[in-house]
A = this chain, B = another copy of it.
Amino acid sequence: MSSDRASRLLSRLENRLDAAAILIGDAVSDGYAADATARGARPVAVLRPRDTQDVSAILSAANELGQPIVVQGGRTGLSGSSRPLQGEISISLERMNGIEALDVAAQTMIVKAGTPLQVVQQAASDVGLFFGVDIGARGTATVGGNIATNAGGIRVLRYGMYRAQVMGLEAVLPDGTILSSLKGLPKDNSGYDLNPLFIGTEGTIGVVTRACLKLHPKPQIERNAFIAMPSLKAAQDLLARLRVELSGLLSAFEAIFPDVYEGTVDYMGIRPPVEKGAGMYAMVEIHGQAPDQDNERFEAALAAALEDGLATDVVLSNSLREFNGLWGIRDGINDYLFGNGVTIGFDISVPLSRMQEFLDRAALAVDEIDPDARTYIFGHLGDGNLHYCMFSHHEKKVAEAIFSGIEAVGGGVSAEHGIGTDKVKYLKYARSEAEIATMRRLKTAFDPNYILNRGRVFEAPVSVQQAERA
């Protein structure tokens, strides 16, 4: 019955879309079945719209027939939002790729949703501007996916999450309604701002088709330093100080816990930039417009940290090679962890003032469940975002323990990766029943048939699930 529905949808779209827009059978390559963490079901078909009107035609037909749709960009997600479930048809934005307009004076860019992040970064750079978000998957991850998941990355401290880069959106609702708000006005209270409906809602409310993005002046100086500190407390104090002293400059404060730092430099076979044996490490970066003055402020702030004992060792990069070398250690952590069989990673958000309390509780709880568990911690300390990684054979129990700890300190169960399908059962540790009910209310108002990314963020209502089974 459900494949019959899919067939009806495809035959209806055959006359509406061009030949290259519909992939079925062997044309649906393996990649469409997976995101960056796991394989899912093979989609019944892959639809590749050329433009917003195509997306609208697909959605309104799917909505009429009740056909579940999964939305796919670069499929680099880490929580299952773009990983197909059984019976879904994929809409892939891969053909809606390209920059439509770039206004240097206004510092804005209009771009199609299927454009990779790196293309945006490069286009901005080519005209002396800068795009504020950077993530590892930049070559593949798309603007639309970045918006749907409110991507974060390494420079949130300075430029904010993806949400802060969005000045306007064009999106299509499940009933085919096209909403276009691409004026790029920095100040506009002409009625409700509808863009937030599509930012961080993981493709469950509508499909983003174009975006007006905010750009920044290109930094005239990018410089980093590696710092050894006596403790997490010292790192937190130093962060608080640098947020003031380097206000407008500080662009990253990446904490690396001792085991991870020492393990990574050993794994990479390099000479550690700062002495081993400290209580905490961090890679700190500035972005500035006035190189001489900014260097002076950066060096003075770090010298003061050494003098006051907040830091025990500091190495400043003095060339692009050294700059990349220090980032290389931060980027090398993942290789080290994968190389050591670490497969469990919690992307959690913790209030800075309660971070030590959380870590102490979590360590005790984990030890009780699995005394052989090994824990590896690093992350964007400047944003309270830790990547809490583990090797343990008791993943489920450990997850319950970690998320209970998150609940106790008022943290978030997903700082930047989103909920997708994989963390649906943990959402309750971060959000109240009333909040989750309100999310459902929003979803139901715009997608009453639950055709779009069904089962992501929260489960579909029982009535929808039953109708599907019938």
Q: Which residues of chain A have a CB within 8 Å of any CB of chain B?
A: 103-107, 128, 149-150, 152, 156-157, 161, 163-164, 173, 177-181, 183-194, 196-197, 199-201, 216-217, 236-237, 239-240, 243-249, 288-290, 293, 296-297, 349, 351-353, 380, 382-385, 410-419, 427, 430-432, 434-439, 441-442, 444-446, 457-458
Residues in B whose Cβ lies below 8 Å from that of A353 = 103, 105-106
Q: A190-B413, A190-B419 are in contact. List 9 more A-B contacts (CB 8 A).
A: A185-B384, A185-B415, A187-B385, A188-B349, A189-B419, A191-B439, A193-B200, A197-B442, A248-B249
Q: Which of A183, A185, A239 has the most CB of B within 10 A?
A: A185
Known A183-B351, A293-B293; contact A191-B247, beta-carbon cutoff 8 A: no
Q: Give me 23 A-to-B residue pairs in the complex whose CB atoms sit less than 8 angstroms apart, sorted by A's number.
A: A105-B239, A149-B189, A152-B189, A177-B434, A179-B432, A179-B438, A184-B351, A187-B383, A187-B384, A188-B414, A189-B200, A189-B414, A189-B417, A189-B418, A190-B349, A190-B414, A190-B431, A191-B436, A192-B201, A248-B288, A441-B446, A442-B442, A442-B445
Residues in B whose Cβ lies below 8 Å from that of A442 = 192, 194, 197, 442, 445
Each complex incorporates copies of this chain amounting to 2
Residues in B whose Cβ lies below 8 Å from that of A380 = 187
Residues in B whose Cβ lies below 8 Å from that of A296 = 293
Q: State A435–B198 Cα separation when bound (angstroms).
A: 14
Asked if residues A412 and B194 are in contact (CB atoms below 8 Å), the reply is no
Asked if residues B161 and A164 are in contact (CB atoms below 8 Å), the reply is no
| A385, closest chain B residue (CB) | B187
The 9 closest A-B pairs by CB, nearest first: A196-B196, A445-B445, A248-B248, A188-B412, A293-B293, A190-B430, A105-B240, A187-B383, A217-B247
Query: What distance in Å separates the Cβ of A356 from its nearest Cβ neighbour in chain B?
Result: 13
Query: What distance in Å separates the Cβ of A193 from its nearest Cβ neighbour in chain B?
Result: 6
- Which residue from B236, B246, B293, B419 sits with its C-beta under 8 Å from A191? B419
Asked if residues A437 and B192 are in contact (CB atoms below 8 Å), the reply is no
| A433, closest chain B residue (CB) | B177
Query: What distance in Å separates the Cβ of A3 from its nearest Cβ neighbour in chain B?
Result: 32
Q: State A344–B441 Cα separation when bound (angstroms).
A: 41
Query: What distance in Å separates the Cβ of A262 from its nearest Cβ neighbour in chain B?
Result: 27
- Which residue from B188, B290, B427, B438 sits with its C-beta under 8 Å from A194? B438
